[in-house]
Structure 1
């Protein structure tokens, strides 16, 4: 595993790296040192705008820039990027198909001590149900860099979810790893159960794979970085070849990755029992990030237990 870095920091550095195109404009809601757009602001101050704590206004200004041909990125905490500005994102960005990238930082339980009001556990659900919205949830710094480049190159609205915690880099060392929007990545192979994860739950799933291996269970771990469009082909292949599915996300189990995977299963000929690892339809609360993951059942041991349950249901 590589050096630890948060996905928000990796995004900020990638934005500065790939932001040389004079058509790219970045907007932030007075959080540049948190969302890490500060790197872009320092390098390209003429194309960076601090919009203050006025998120709805920020989205509509960005939409205006995009309507004039710009690539516009709006940045704030995920709870605000998905909730506070839902109306503006839906009606003023995605409905007209404008080239605006919504970047939600500090997502999930691991925003930690900021507590339930700032722990976005519904953002994936909200964003993926908007017609025409692409939703990307990278798991580490290397993948975030590639995801940032990809959404800048892709025309149309995207939602990119990043987090606060420093995480191990697990994708860069994966042989023949390639990032492509809409295509998941198989990180480990196995024929007993498939663990499909996004965000930091990819790292937790790889740890779970080791626990299962010690018990003689061979788990396939899939990094499903794109929630929409979901990689149907990879989900169906995993279901047919392993016969059991576990989905893992730092999000409500309703409406997120687990729901997206189950929608594939029930609309295909690849039936497989599925277990959901995530937040079970409750709010979070304040606490140290990884203690919260343990409290809500998002640890490698929890994933391993879910895998065994899924296998027992074959």
Structure 2
């Protein structure tokens, strides 16, 4: 049953949201009540007349989605939850306290009604665009996506990546509500109350724009209705508001950002007092999920031992096979699909492919949005370019998103393109993020097997692939458990253990053969699982050989060398360890010349082992 609220009732709801924002921040002794107060009327009208949602069933397929991009205004969000009956007053007043679900900035790990973690500004609109793309292209059940943005975050480049993406994709199910309250953290924003400046920018990206008085409920109501009836374009509602609206001590005043009000009781009285106003949110229409996962047999590509195959090629073929077996797999790319080989998926499953163009922040944000809607995204680009989206990856981890990221063209082994294209920091970046799995295969069959496993993992999974062809060394039936490794050379008399991954595995094998011929047997470990790392095998090797040499096509910091060193941080005394990695800024050269210049080719490994053995014998 739909409840119709009068304008006066919506004004009262807006005031109640302000009151509870003030009270929550006062109880916490911290927070952002003034940023919440400016947007209270915008949210009151949305909740009372336009939003369709079931708080008892947040995963309802037809429920509208709401993203609070200005995450510091969390008191407003939590006040809305209270008004809708999702939380009670006692919980509201636990805001920002130890153990409370109501964190300083909202996250979905504690609240089922939160779509994505926000607080790092400029991320809400990109993720909301990803959710809207899912609704428009995949889910097809008619829900709308609303995202409340602050005017300060309009300075972020990621906002305009999202604006162009949404405009190009004609996401008419997406409404951005920009709370233009004029004041940022330290003073006025770039454009202040010049709403036309914002309108011009959104219009340039093919958005429908509506300028409103953000404290006039009738004006706001008309804007939401107009947005819902707009076809072929997303809508930006640009609302002129006052920060701290309703409390004269802070209304439209600088210096009040991020602070509880000095006299909360007086402000509550000025706002009309705590009247306990509640709202009955419209239930979403009946709907069924149209994208039921199709389960089929997974027929991974098979490669013959001795064949020369690039791991990026194996990735593309394996992703096609995974997509054929699982209807929830969606592939995304940053306009390099011919290089990453994601284009193979695009040709076989075009209905589940998203081209994000050269906008890596939007690429990752779209993946996060798809994950929030229950899809299994695989997003690929050059390993070097994923560093541009580091903050989005970090926030995806805070969200608890389940996404797969694939970085191709890693390391100096790409050759002549030079250092701007070389991913030399990516392993460190992904290893440092919470709840990540980092995999670096060395051959085609290993790549296919590891890709298949990522589909059943949780958190953020990173697969590093290589540009050049490499010999297949494992048979198709070989198994590669995540967290494991492979011992490729070993013997009782091994003097040194060489630990490698990806392209350096092949160099390590060449070096091992050369060293064996010279009477220096070495153990070789393929550390394809960089995180989690195979501690047991590394410790066994350390006991057997007493010395470990890591070799990686990556900076010495944060990659394989650090992963191996950490394996001994809580165990027996660490063995003697040495590292080979990329220590300079490379130029342009052939792949073999690059490996040699970095000292990570077979010759470099032979020389390093020789020194280690010499020092082990000669004090």
Deviations 1:164-209 (A, max 9, x none): 0000111228xx9421111011111132211110001001000010
Matched, 1:69 2:377: no
Matched, 1:87 2:391: yes
Choose the corresponding residue for 1:284, options 586, 589, 595.
586
Where do 5+ consecutive residues of structure 2 fail to align? 1-304
**1 CA distance for matches of 2:569 and 2:607?**
24
SS, match of residue 213 in structure 1: helix
Comparing both structures, which one devotes a greater share of its residues to strand?
Answer: 1
Choose the corresponding residue for 2:598, options 296, 303, 308.
296
Deviations 1:3-23 (A, max 9, x none): 001111110000001112111
Equivalent runs, 1:80-229 vs 2, <5 Å: 80-81=385-386, 83-91=387-395, 93-172=396-475, 177-190=478-491, 191-229=494-532
- Give the ranges of 4+ consecutive aligned residues of structure 1 lying more than 6 Å apart after TM superposition: none
**2 CA distance for matches of 1:270 and 1:7?**
36
The aligned residue for residue 319 of structure 2 is 15
Structure label with greater radius of gyration = 2
Query: RMSD over aligned Cα, in angstroms?
Result: 1.4
**2 CA distance for matches of 1:309 and 1:215?**
14
- Please say if residues 73 and 103 of structure 1, whose CA atoms lie closer than 8 Å, have aligned partners that are also in contact: yes
Q: CA deviation at 1:264?
A: 1.7
Q: CA deviation at 1:266?
A: 3.9
- Please say if residues 119 and 284 of structure 1, whose CA atoms lie closer than 8 Å, have aligned partners that are also in contact: no
- Please say if residues 240 and 271 of structure 1, whose CA atoms lie closer than 8 Å, have aligned partners that are also in contact: no
Number of aligned residue pairs: 309
Q: CA deviation at 1:270?
A: 4.4
Deviations 1:25-68 (A, max 9, x none): 11111111111011111111100011111110111111011011
Q: With structure 2 as the length reference, what TM-score do the two structures score?
A: 0.49
**1 CA distance for matches of 2:357 and 2:547?**
47
The aligned residue for residue 268 of structure 1 is 571
**2 CA distance for matches of 1:96 and 1:234?**
33
Q: CA deviation at 1:313?
A: 4.0
**1 CA distance for matches of 2:460 and 2:435?**
7
Moved more, 147-156 or 243-252: 147-156
Q: CA deviation at 1:298?
A: 1.3
**2 CA distance for matches of 1:270 and 1:9?**
41
SS, match of residue 181 in structure 1: coil
**2 CA distance for matches of 1:106 and 1:177?**
25
Q: CA deviation at 1:310?
A: 2.5
- Please say if residues 198 and 224 of structure 1, whose CA atoms lie closer than 8 Å, have aligned partners that are also in contact: yes
Matched, 1:32 2:331: no
- Please say if residues 142 and 172 of structure 1, whose CA atoms lie closer than 8 Å, have aligned partners that are also in contact: yes
- Please say if residues 211 and 301 of structure 1, whose CA atoms lie closer than 8 Å, have aligned partners that are also in contact: no
Deviations 1:100-126 (A, max 9, x none): 001001110022121111111111011
SS, match of residue 85 in structure 1: helix
Matched, 1:44 2:349: yes
- Please say if residues 322 and 329 of structure 2, whose CA atoms lie closer than 8 Å, have aligned partners that are also in contact: no
**2 CA distance for matches of 1:117 and 1:194?**
32
